[in-house]
């Protein structure tokens, strides 16, 4: 550490010797006065430059005094030039206006720019730094990727686009539950942590989603409490100011029908009051009989430009789901994995559906104090209501016959969250500072009644998976007692969770030697009070530091190093009693990022090591959803990740990734007999590889016709989190191949994708120690989706 401080002191002394320089800032607007994002601005005859952010703004630091010519360029646009004079110690502000409108610019980005690649993150991640210069592995799944792959929700194959991401359980389209770097990552929406229970939130429908940002490793210093493995941030669609719309119709296998409508425009002639409205509805059955998932969503957004510096945005989202019991995905047997037909179900057709109404409200205020400082404040309210049930076997005999049991699962969640943060840029001597500081506060409450159960079968008439019957169960269907309100039932049954937190954070990114070396120093102080399973509140406070170093080898290549810590309070009922201590985790990471072919595509390679202490894990000897946990001591996850995304050549778009992940127990607490040092932490694949390629013919009679295809490969899969892992219980390797055709001309796009082209029996699963049986969750056989989209 002393050598590190000596190095920093050397940098500071060296930069002090440089004469004071100036800086160039500005904003790029479309012809209809909308911000133009991802446009390159450079100094003619120099490697210095910048890329405009979501507000169309750019900054070029540490420019020596003199006269220069700025070059504005973007693939598909005409290059612009503008002369500027830079004075020592001063900032010169330059404005560019494109000849293209926001809608035309969007079309240029999709057809000729970087439809699979993003250079900036959203403002909800609070960072001013371009992805290339950020000392962390950040991957963005763009709207074009979502459209090409016909992804309809967070659980619908999205994770193939990010290295090392897998799903813990197949909860259908109820919860995403994504695992990365050895544990489940946190779910965010527009910068808010929207996790209120161990299972949520409800998966977002892609109709109102613009893109998804994956942040790998700890990010709790800026985004509230979180797991050191990382997070994903769902960024919703906002008004663009351009009057336009799109309607799409999709149909597919298993009676899948879906329609969406996207309207975007102005509510007044001045263009200060804008709107965006997204609607979606679908009916969707399954390859398993009696299983369905019908949903619709409504997502209006309104923004108002109060003045030149202040903008107010309000958005409301409502998702309604009516789906079959989530237990229908499980196929239990004592014979091993995938020994039952993949369309097998234990669910009787007369079981009541699960109904969910999920609502959220955001209000966001952005104020540009001056050209260097910006203040953002936002509040969010989330309300989730669920009325339904969950199937799980009560017992299984040696010959695999079982007593099917149904448990009530009524749930309610309320969250009120708020953030205020400020971004700024200042120069002290020869050092440029990018400053971020803010405060987060939040209250989360979750109530669930799972205290009532009903056996569908009797001991004298067990359900036989090898000879199933689907008439009325011999013990009848459950009739739940809902005479008390949900809150009272949750308290009586120990189904309550709550959390209150306050966090204060500050980050300074120091730029040295013309911003070629960037040192990030940050810290966060967090206080949390929370409880679960009806227990007493646990309170904890903690300071988490962050140190990052990013060095630009040239304008297209950077290397980085990161040390970060995470703090995640936890509550739970521990087998044997005792209080749950907060999870503490640290991450050490090295990486290389590079843009290729003038920024059309990029690659990221990272190596990391994460150590987590005091983590609770479900007790394998207790039933599913029991809430009983064990503290196994310390977990270590380490690995290598590679991501590639972008436009390789004109018309050829690619996303590809590979990850090696090794997560194991590195320390066992005294008295814990369930785990030993060296045991694999279940819930991931040691090797994951994904690819998706799309090629569009650029000329000739077949111009606009394209072909696409992708695969997912998982090797050395550990079982799900409910198991005692050993070699006999681990899953075989997994390979899935998808492919399709599309045709696009003018305002019409026709897309056909075939999934599981090889028609393999694909599944996840685990050995459930509690009932001494295997379960399998099968995926669909070969199936298709045909979509038609029209822009107007």
Q: What is the pLDDT of residues 763-779, one digit of tens each?
A: 988 888 778 889 999 99
Percentage of the chain exceeding pLDDT 70: 89
| Neighbouring residues of 638: CB distance < 8 A, sequence distance ≥ 6 | 607, 608, 609, 610, 662
Structure token digits, residue 347: 């669910």
148 pLDDT tier (thresholds 50, 70, 90): very high
Share of the chain above pLDDT 90, in %: 59
pLDDT for the residue 312: 97
- Rounded CA-CA distance 715/780 in Å is 20
Domain 20-113 carries which CATH code? 2.60.40.1120
Tokens of 173: 């389209």
- Can you tell me the distance from the alpha carbon of 696 to that of 115, in angstroms, rounded to the nearest whole number? 13
Nearest of 792, 659, 767 to residue 165 by alpha carbon: 659
What pLDDT digit, counting tens, does each position of 547-605 carry? 999 999 998 999 999 999 887 777 666 666 666 677 788 899 999 999 998 888 999 99
pLDDT at 200 over 80: no
For the record, the structure tokens of 372 come out as 């260097």
Residue 77, pLDDT score: 66
Tell me what pLDDT residue 18 has: 38
d(CA 39, CA 537): 50
- Tracing tokens 């950020």 back to the chain, one arrives at 134
The CA-to-CA distance between both ends of the chain, in Å, stands at 60
CATH 2.60.40.1120 domain range(s) in the chain? 20-113
Backbone angles phi, psi at 447, to 5 degrees: -125, 135
Alpha-carbon gap, residue 554 to 43, rounded angstroms: 15
699 or 79, higher pLDDT: 699
CATH 2.40.170.20-classified regions of the chain: 236-398+408-791
Position 7 pLDDT exceeds 50: no
Residues 202 and 321: beta-carbon distance below 8 Å: yes
Cβ atoms of 737 and 713 closer than 8 Å:
no
* Torsion angle (degrees, nearest 10) of CA 113, 117, 120, 125: 140
Under 8 Å between Cβ of 504 and 441: no
Confidence of residue 719 (pLDDT cuts 50, 70, 90): low
Q: Report which secondary-structure segment, H or E, holds 592.
A: strand 583-596
Output 664 or 20, whichever has higher pLDDT: 664
CB-based burial of residue 476 (10 Å sphere; 0-12 exposed, 13-18 middle, 19+ buried)? exposed
Q: Is 188 exposed, middle or buried (0-12, 13-18, 19+ CB in 10 A)?
A: buried
For residue 621, the model assigns a pLDDT of 63
More confident residue, 607 or 201: 607
How confident is the model over 722-743, as a mean pLDDT?
79
pLDDT at 5: 44
509-554 pLDDT, tens digit each: 999 998 899 999 999 999 988 887 777 777 888 888 999 999 999 9
755: Cα within 13 Å, side-chain hemisphere: 19
- Which structure tokens are listed for 163? 């290295």
Distance between CA atoms of residues 626 and 605, nearest Å:
40
Distance CA 651, CA 249 (A): 25
Query: What is the predicted pLDDT for the residue at 56?
Result: 84
Tokens found for residue 258: 């879906």
Per-residue pLDDT tens over the stretch 345-401: 999 999 999 999 999 999 999 999 988 899 999 999 999 999 999 999 999 999 999
Band the pLDDT of 15: cuts 50, 70, 90: very low
Q: Is the pLDDT of residue 725 over 70?
A: no
* Dist CA 770 CA 767 (whole Å): 9
- Using DSSP bridges, classify how beta strands 628-631 and 685-696 pair: parallel, antiparallel or unpaired: unpaired
* pLDDT band (50, 70, 90) for residue 190: very high
At 11, the pLDDT band (50, 70, 90 cuts) reads: very low
Q: What is the pTM assigned to this prediction?
A: 0.86
Q: Which helix (H) or strand (E) holds 323?
A: strand 310-323
Average pLDDT of the segment spanning 39-65: 82
538-554 vs 557-568, strand pairing mode: antiparallel
SS3 241: coil
Count of C-beta atoms within a 10 Å radius of residue 8: 16
DSSP letter string over 76-99? TS--EEEEEEE-TT-EEEEEEE-S
User: What is the CATH number that goes with domain 236-398+408-791?
Assistant: 2.40.170.20
CB 478 within 8 A of CB 389: yes
Pairing of strands 573-574, 57-63: unpaired
Q: What is the mean pLDDT of the chain?
A: 88
pLDDT of residue 13: 46
Sequence-ordered list of residues with C-beta below 8 angstroms from that of 500, at least 6 positions apart, any chain: 442, 443, 444, 528, 529, 530
Q: What's the pLDDT score for residue 540?
A: 84
Q: What is the pLDDT of residue 8?
A: 45
- The region of weakest confidence among 59-63, 345-349, 421-425 is 59-63
CA pair distance 188, 225, nearest whole angstrom: 11
Q: Is residue 184 predicted with pLDDT exceeding 90?
A: no
pLDDT of residue 739: 96
**Which parts of 126-165 fold into alpha helices (H)?**
143-148
Q: CA angle, 172 as apex, 333 and 156 as ends, to 5°?
A: 130
Confidence of residue 48 (pLDDT cuts 50, 70, 90): confident
CA 523 vs. chain centroid, Å, equals 23
> In this predicted structure, what is the pLDDT of residue 577?
63
Q: What pLDDT is attached to residue 12?
A: 43
CA 177 to chain centroid, in Å, comes to 10
Helix (H, G, I), strand (E, B) or coil at 132: helix
CA dihedral 114, 118, 119, 121 (to 10 degrees): 160
- pLDDT above 60: residue 615: yes
The top-scoring range by mean pLDDT among 617-621, 695-699, 739-743 is 739-743
CA distance 633 to 677: 10
């Amino acid at each position: 550490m002393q050598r590190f401080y000596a190095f920093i002191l050397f940098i500071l002394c060296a930069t002090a010797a440089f004469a004071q320089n100036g800086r160039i800032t500005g904003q790029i607007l479309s012809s209809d006065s909308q911000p133009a994002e991802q446009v390159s601005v450079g100094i003619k005859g120099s490697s210095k430059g910048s890329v405009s952010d979501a507000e169309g703004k750019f900054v070029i630091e540490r420019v020596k005094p003199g006269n220069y010519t700025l070059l504005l360029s973007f693939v598909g646009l005409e290059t612009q030039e503008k002369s500027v004079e830079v004075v020592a110690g001063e900032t010169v502000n330059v404005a560019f206006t494109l000849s293209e409108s926001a809608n035309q610019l969007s079309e240029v980005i999709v057809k000729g720019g970087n439809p699979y690649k993003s250079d900036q993150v959203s403002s909800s991640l609070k960072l001013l730094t371009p992805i290339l210069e950020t000392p962390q592995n950040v991957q963005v799944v763009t709207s074009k990727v979502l459209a090409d792959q016909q992804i309809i929700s967070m659980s619908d194959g999205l994770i193939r686009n990010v290295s090392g991401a897998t799903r813990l359980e197949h909860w259908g389209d109820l919860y995403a539950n994504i695992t990365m770097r050895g544990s489940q990552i946190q779910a965010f929406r527009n910068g808010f942590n929207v996790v209120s229970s161990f299972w949520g939130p409800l998966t977002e429908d892609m109709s109102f989603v613009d893109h998804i940002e994956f942040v790998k490793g700890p990010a709790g210093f800026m985004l509230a409490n979180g797991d050191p493995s990382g997070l994903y941030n769902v960024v919703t669609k906002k008004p663009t100011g351009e009057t336009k719309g799109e309607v799409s119709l999709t149909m597919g296998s298993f009676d899948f029908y879906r329609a969406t409508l996207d309207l975007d425009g102005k509510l007044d002639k001045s263009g200060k009051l804008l709107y965006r409205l997204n609607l979606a509805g679908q009916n969707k059955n399954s390859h398993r009989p009696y299983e369905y998932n019908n949903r619709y969503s409504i997502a209006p957004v309104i923004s108002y430009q109060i003045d030149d510096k202040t903008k107010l945005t309000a958005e409301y989202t409502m998702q309604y789901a009516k789906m079959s019991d989530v237990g229908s995905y499980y196929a239990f047997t004592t014979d091993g994995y995938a020994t039952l037909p993949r369309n097998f179900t234990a669910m009787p057709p007369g079981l009541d559906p699960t109904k969910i109404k999920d609502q959220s409200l955001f209000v966001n205020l952005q104020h540009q104090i001056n050209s260097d400082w910006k203040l953002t404040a936002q509040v969010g309210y989330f309300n989730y209501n669920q009325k339904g049930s969950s199937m799980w076997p009560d017992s299984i005999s040696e010959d695999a016959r079982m007593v099917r049991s149904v448990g009530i699962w009524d749930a309610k969640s309320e969250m009120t969250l708020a953030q205020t943060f400020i971004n700024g840029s200042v120069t002290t001597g020869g050092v440029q500072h990018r400053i971020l500081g803010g405060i987060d506060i939040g209250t989360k409450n979750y109530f669930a009644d799972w205290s009532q159960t009903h056996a569908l079968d009797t001991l004298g008439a067990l359900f036989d998976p090898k000879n199933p019957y689907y008439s009325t169960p011999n013990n009848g269907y459950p009739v739940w007692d809902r005479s008390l309100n949900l809150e009272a039932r949750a308290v009586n049954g120990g189904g309550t969770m709550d959390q209150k937190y306050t966090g204060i954070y500050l980050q300074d990114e120091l730029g040295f030697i013309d911003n070629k070396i960037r040192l990030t120093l940050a810290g966060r102080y967090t206080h949390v009070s929370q409880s679960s399973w009806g227990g007493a509140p646990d309170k904890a406070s903690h300071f988490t530091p962050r140190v990052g170093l990013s060095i630009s080898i040239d304008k297209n290549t950077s290397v980085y190093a990161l040390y970060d810590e995470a703090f995640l309070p936890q509550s739970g009922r521990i087998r044997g009693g005792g209080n749950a201590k907060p999870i503490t985790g640290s991450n050490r990471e090295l990486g290389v990022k590079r843009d290729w072919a003038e920024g059309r595509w990029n690659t990221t390679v990272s190596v990391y090591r994460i150590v987590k202490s005091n983590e609770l894990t479900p007790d394998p000897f207790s039933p599913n959803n029991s809430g009983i946990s064990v503290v196994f001591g310390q977990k270590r996850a380490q690995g290598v990740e590679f991501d590639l995304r972008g436009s390789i050549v004109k018309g050829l778009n690619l996303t590809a990734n590979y990850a090696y992940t090794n997560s194991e127990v590195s320390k066992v607490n005294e008295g814990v007999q369930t785990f030993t040092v060296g045991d694999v932490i279940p819930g991931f694949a040691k090797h994951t590889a994904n690819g998706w390629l799309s090629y569009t013919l650029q000329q000739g009679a077949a111009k606009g016709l394209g072909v696409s295809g992708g695969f997912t490969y998982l090797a050395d899969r550990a079982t799900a989190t409910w198991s005692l892992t050993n070699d006999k219980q681990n899953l075989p390797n997994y390979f899935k191949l998808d492919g399709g055709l599309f045709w696009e001309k003018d305002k019409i796009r026709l897309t056909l994708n075939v999934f599981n082209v090889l028609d393999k029996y694909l599944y996840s699963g685990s050995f459930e120690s509690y009932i001494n049986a295997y379960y399998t969750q099968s995926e669909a056989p070969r199936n298709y989706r045909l979509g038609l989209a029209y822009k107007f």
